[in-house]
Amino acid sequence: MRALHVVQSGAVALYTLLAAKAVSASGVDSGFVNPDVVYRPKFRYWLPDASVPADVVQEDIARIAEAGGGGIELLPFYLYGLPTAQGMNATPPTDWDVYGFGTPAFSDLFQAALNGSKESKIRMDFAVGANQGQGVPAVPGTPGLAVQLLLGSTSVHAGERYSSTVPPPAELSSVVQSGLTFMHPLEDFGTPNLTSVIAYQVLNGNTIGGSKIVALDPLSFVDLSAKVKDGLLDWTAPLGNSPWRVFSFWVKHTNQRSCTGGRNPTTVIGNGSWIVDHFDAMGAQLITDFWDQHILSDEQTLTFLQEVGQYAWEDSMEMLSSLYWTPSLLTRFEQDRGYSGLPCLPALFKPQNNWNAIVPSYNEMYTLGNQKDSACNADYRRTLNAGYQDYMAHFSQWTNRIGIQYSNQPAYNLPLEMLGDIPLSDAPECESLGFSDNVDAYRQFSGPAHISNRNVVSNEMGAVNKPAYMLTIPELLYSIKRAWSGGVNMVVLHGYTYSGNYPNTTWPGYTTFGFRFTEMWNQIQPAWIHMKDYLDYISRNQFVLQQGRPQIDLALYLYETPWSAADLLHSNNITAAGYTHDYVAPDNLFSPQVTVRAKVLAPDGPSYRALVFASPKFNISTFNLVREDVAARVVEFAQKGLPVVFVGGLPQVTSNTQAGQIVDDGWRKIRNLPSVQFISSLADLPGALSKAGVMPDVLPSCTTGTLRVVKRSRPEDDVDYVFLYNDQIVSTSCQISIQDHGTRTPHLLNAWTGEKKMIGSFERRSAVITVSLQFAPNETSILSLEKSGSSGPTNLTMLGSSSTSRRYSIANLTRWDLSIEDFHAPRRRSQVETAITWHNFSNIALGPWSAISPALAKVGGIGRYSTSFTVPNVPRIQGKLSLGPIIHTARVYIGGRRLPPIDPVNPVINISSYIGPSRTYKLIVEVTTPLFNRIKTDANQTKIAGSTAGELQPLYASTPYQEYGLMGPVVVIWSIST
């Protein structure tokens, strides 16, 4: 970020110039320079299994701390649970009967990791189970393990008598049964239990997209359960012109593992883990009882956990079912929804109720008509979600009892109400992969956390579907900045892999997900020598983004189930007009702290100044729906003066006729309230908000595009922070207007160096402060508004309106010496120790390594470029060093002194304090590369647990070698201070 000097005549005064005066780090931002571990990024730590040496694990933890990490998220990986579908050798590389999750060996290693975290003074989170954390060792069939609802059916002609066995469960889709190519299969053992038998008259049938759709007459429902005796049904279909369909429903355990067991297991623990029922507290209790009995029963382990443990954590749910179910679901459905769910059952077997809405469970689906289908599915999902909330609540209670907190990736991928579930987690977590770096999707996640005062919004960051060892630091930072812009304020980097030796595994070591996803951050990576620069940058931003409470202009209503990561605001009218927004769901509006005071929603939290229903603009199945309890709540808000805007009309009801009447009664009350407006499109929203007196809290006015804005307010000491991000591929100059009803002074915080500078010149007009900044593409900046300690500007270093320096000359540094450390496997490849071959070159031009020598196309490692320059013999000489594009990481040394960290999107460094007139200095630029080129070259010799990278990741063969090195041009821009 660079200060932009702008002078305008007339009423508009001098805009922002940076003062030369630096503010002491011991001021109100004492934690900004060197943030505490609670603000520092964590690493998901992939533990292969409990056979690995404890001292190596502890050394890994120490390296993370030394590099500036704040903790680990311990994940017992077990080769992703070793599902056969992932194409790896299905035999565990060590004896998981001895070294599996929950064994004594695992408990010892868990304690060692806690002790290592304590010694390194960082935090430790842990997955509640092996692999994703969805399961636990148990005897198959144990109550609390996952169950599913199976469907059987047969046709009966009108007037025909059916006297035979109840139709058995139909054959499940082979895609679902086999585990969707990356999960464990649903193992076919155990006896299903018949739940009910019903019948419907068939109206018609047709085929859509390869699936047969059978339309049923919703008024013809018949419950035949009482007619079943000893597995036989005796029933005569009514007379008529249309056939009937008899349906049977069966409950059976899914028998899906979350982790493979040992080679020849002799114990329940050695047999691996089975997925638990996520829709009843009993499933959660099965997991917590296991921890209490087998891992935390050791007093020393529990003591360590209470000292350094932060979160017990569960990953995004990867589990399959014919239909997600729990034994009490029908009973709860009737109790909560007020009618029997039995007639709904045929209409529930749809792709939207499967994992990630990928495929239907059966090759035939059924409809009761759009209105009935919609009501049935909404009420099924709402009932299922209530059970899921019981599941989450148990974990929250358990973690509170043992002295830590609970975090998870809630609801998404399943037909649940994600936005309503987020507040049940102490630190709800999303992910860059599943959210596709989508800022609007992140706001859908962070809004419920904001309104429920959950301060930490976590993110599993940096998993990209491309070959391992290919991700660059600028790519990682791009994803992080977009997540921050959407409300995330803690990243858990994906990930740090165990760095020691492992059976049938070669250098560069244990590589997760079969080389299919990034990234393996540890000391094997060349960039690790620079990692602290980037972790400190992340930490300082997260320090700011966790201060006080968020301040958001608008709350947009969203009721979507199942949820999917989509940009709901394709039109950028709201952002372009300067408004920030969150999304909130029905459950969020009923939290005790969600009130309206002084026309503001959640005034002790995000302080939304308007509630917007924009649903008719979006083609999403449930986005334009409300629950019956929402209308009355919105009426209450509007009666207290909260501006409420409906775009395109009033939302519909989610459920049955009675609920629809409740909603209609509420909407009738709202139509004539003075705080309510109706507009036809989102394009009219800024005008409606202005009419209601709702103006953006922070308004960037830029020469190109706009900025993404996050504001945090710390009312106890009257400090506001504004995070700004130029999410564009072009530079822009912006005038940033910030609401300020006090007499505070703006400051600029540099997250790369930890410096804080007071802004010496700015415009204050009425209750608005305006500063002006210039941004490179993808650059971030942080402003703060703080009390200056004086009513006047006498304590500020004010800069005049004229330029303080003039251009003198430019020195283009064209010839360099280069020394490359070529990272590769040792002669004995099974030793995970990097061997280095040196390549030295003299008097070369800058460019990709492959242009220096074709042999370098296969190389990855560290390059050290050196040259010399002479400072002009001119008084008051100043210099800026411009490095050109940074492919991965870089550090700079002048005369043996290391320069401050370099922002890869704006690699320009002020070197004035490192030089003197007429002196000659040695300049060293140290760059690193990913290891992709080396792994691509050796893909057929690089192994994980006996499988080669070339077999597991075909993109190593098809992806071209990458261009690495210092590309240039590197220039020094000389100027003279005037």
User: How does pLDDT run across 840-870, given as a tens digit for each residue?
Assistant: 999 999 999 999 999 999 999 999 999 999 9
CB count within 10 Å of CB 712 equals: 21
- Beta-carbon contacts of 381 under 8 Å, excluding residues fewer than 6 positions away, are 353, 415, 416, 417, 561, 562
* pLDDT over 50 at 508, yes or no: yes
**Amino acid (one-letter) located at 154:** T
Give the CATH number, domain containing residue 124: 3.20.20.80
- pLDDT at residue 528, as a whole number: 98
Q: Give the span between the Cα atoms of 114 and 943, in whole angstroms.
A: 30
Instruction: Give the end of a domain, one of 546, 561, 583.
Output: 546
Note whether 538 and 673 are same-domain residues.
Answer: no
* pLDDT over 60 at 651, yes or no: yes
* Within a domain: 966: yes
Higher-confidence residue of 315 and 977: namely 315
- Specify whether the CB–CB gap between 454 and 429 falls below 8 A: no
* Within a domain: 258: no
Secondary structure class of 339 (helix, strand, coil)? coil
- pLDDT at residue 569, as a whole number: 83
Note whether 181 and 307 are same-domain residues.
Answer: no
- Look at 82-86, 322-326, 474-478, 823-827 and tell me which has the smallest mean pLDDT: 82-86
Handedness of CA 726, 727, 729, 730 (dihedral sign): negative
- pLDDT at residue 621, as a whole number: 37
* Confidence band for 88, pLDDT divided at 50, 70 and 90: low
Note whether 929 and 829 are same-domain residues.
Answer: yes
Q: Give the span between the Cα atoms of 652 and 710, in whole angstroms.
A: 32
Secondary structure class of 419 (helix, strand, coil)? helix
Note whether 290 and 414 are same-domain residues.
Answer: yes
Note whether 501 and 352 are same-domain residues.
Answer: no
Note whether 470 and 521 are same-domain residues.
Answer: yes
Instruction: Give the end of a domain, one of 488, 514, 546.
Output: 546
**Closest to 944 measured CA to CA, from 325, 468, 435:** 468
- pLDDT at residue 978, as a whole number: 84
Secondary structure class of 707 (helix, strand, coil)? coil
- pLDDT at residue 789, as a whole number: 59
Q: What is the pLDDT of residues 280-322, one digit of tens each?
A: 999 999 999 999 999 999 999 999 999 999 999 999 999 999 9
State the pTM of this model.
0.95
Note whether 312 and 325 are same-domain residues.
Answer: no
Note whether 120 and 152 are same-domain residues.
Answer: no
- pLDDT at residue 555, as a whole number: 97
* Within a domain: 391: no
Q: In 222-271, where do the E strands start and end?
A: 222-223, 228-229, 232-236, 244-253, 257-259
Domain boundaries, position 638: 549-680
Give the CATH number, domain containing residue 728: 2.60.40.1180
* Within a domain: 779: yes
Q: Give the span between the Cα atoms of 137 and 81, in whole angstroms.
A: 13
Total domains, the chain: 5
Q: Give the span between the Cα atoms of 718 and 277, in whole angstroms.
A: 47
- pLDDT at residue 969, as a whole number: 98
Q: What is the pLDDT of residues 567-617, one digit of tens each?
A: 988 767 888 899 999 999 999 999 888 999 999 999 999 999 999 998 644
* Confidence band for 624, pLDDT divided at 50, 70 and 90: low
Site of tokens 């990736």: 409
- Beta-carbon contacts of 911 under 8 Å, excluding residues fewer than 6 positions away, are 879, 880, 881, 894, 899, 972
Note whether 833 and 901 are same-domain residues.
Answer: yes
* pLDDT over 70 at 883, yes or no: yes
Higher-confidence residue of 635 and 207: namely 635
Length of the chain: 978
* Within a domain: 5: no
Q: Give the tokens for residue 558.
A: 């969203």
Mean predicted confidence (pLDDT) in 106-130: 98
- Beta-carbon contacts of 595 under 8 Å, excluding residues fewer than 6 positions away, are 601, 602, 603
Give the CATH number, domain containing residue 641: 3.40.50
**Amino acid (one-letter) located at 955:** L
Note whether 526 and 587 are same-domain residues.
Answer: no
The per-residue b/e assignment along 319-335, b for 16 or more CB within 10 angstroms, e otherwise, is bbbbbbbbebbbebbee
Q: Is the peptide bond before 562 cis (omega within 30 degrees of 0)?
A: yes
Mean predicted confidence (pLDDT) in 353-370: 94
Instruction: Give the end of a domain, one of 800, 835, 863.
Output: 800
Phi and psi of 901, rounded to 5°? -55, 150
Note whether 766 and 832 are same-domain residues.
Answer: no
- pLDDT at residue 445, as a whole number: 98
Give the CATH number, domain containing residue 900: 2.60.120.260
Note whether 46 and 102 are same-domain residues.
Answer: yes
Q: Give the span between the Cα atoms of 116 and 121, in whole angstroms.
A: 8
- pLDDT at residue 232, as a whole number: 97
* Within a domain: 693: no
Q: Give the span between the Cα atoms of 774 and 6, in whole angstroms.
A: 11
Q: Give the span between the Cα atoms of 929 and 906, in whole angstroms.
A: 19
Q: What is the pLDDT of residues 801-816, one digit of tens each?
A: 345 788 899 999 999 9
- pLDDT at residue 85, as a whole number: 58
- pLDDT at residue 22, as a whole number: 33
Q: Give the span between the Cα atoms of 830 and 65, in whole angstroms.
A: 27
* Within a domain: 13: no
* Within a domain: 717: yes
* pLDDT over 80 at 47, yes or no: yes
Higher-confidence residue of 662 and 474: namely 474
* pLDDT over 70 at 795, yes or no: no
- Specify whether the CB–CB gap between 544 and 518 falls below 8 A: no
Mean predicted confidence (pLDDT) in 371-378: 90
